[in-house]
Amino acid sequence: MVEFGRVYIDASVILRRVLNQPGALRHVEWETAFASELIAVELYRTVNNLRITGEASFESQALLREAVQASVAALDLVPLDHIVLNRAGGPFATPIRTLDAIHLATALLWADHFDGSLTLLTHDRQLAVAARASGLAVHPWPLKPASRP
């Protein structure tokens, strides 16, 4: 069991858990979990897309939505405001996608608020590398390269 105080969680962690995917962080606990309010949009879009692509039936989609709803309810959501957006639009040490930049900016602002005592939980390699380059603790680290077909 791995235990943390404060964590910032991105959508990849919740999705691996609710979709029962390999490598899901199941033996990780924390006192307080933060995420950008953007996470709810990402999670519900993914669930809906699984239905549209035929990867989830209406019934399984309903169950996934319930699991996502419970997961989001357990998080302290950070508002998506101009401070976060300004930071996300600024420079980072490594390449990073737009939504990940919003997550990283939010995590960095909250880490500053807590004097650095915040760990980012992610399965996203690009986000993890950018977070480490920005001085954040990341778990799991190092991430394994994605497998190729």
pLDDT at residue number 148: 47
123-143 confidence digits (pLDDT tens): 999 999 999 999 999 999 987
pLDDT at residue number 146: 58
In whole angstroms, give the CA distance from residue 11 to residue 15.
Answer: 6
How confident is the chain (149 residues) per 10-residue block, as mean pLDDT?
94 95 93 97 95 90 95 97 97 97 97 90 96 96 65
Non-local CB neighbours of 123 within 8 Å, separated by 6+ positions? 12, 13, 16, 23, 25, 140, 143
pLDDT at residue number 142: 84
pLDDT at residue number 32: 95
pLDDT at residue number 30: 94
In whole angstroms, give the CA distance from residue 123 to residue 21.
Answer: 11
Non-local CB neighbours of 3 within 8 Å, separated by 6+ positions? 28, 29, 30
In whole angstroms, give the CA distance from residue 131 to residue 120.
Answer: 8
pLDDT at residue number 149: 45
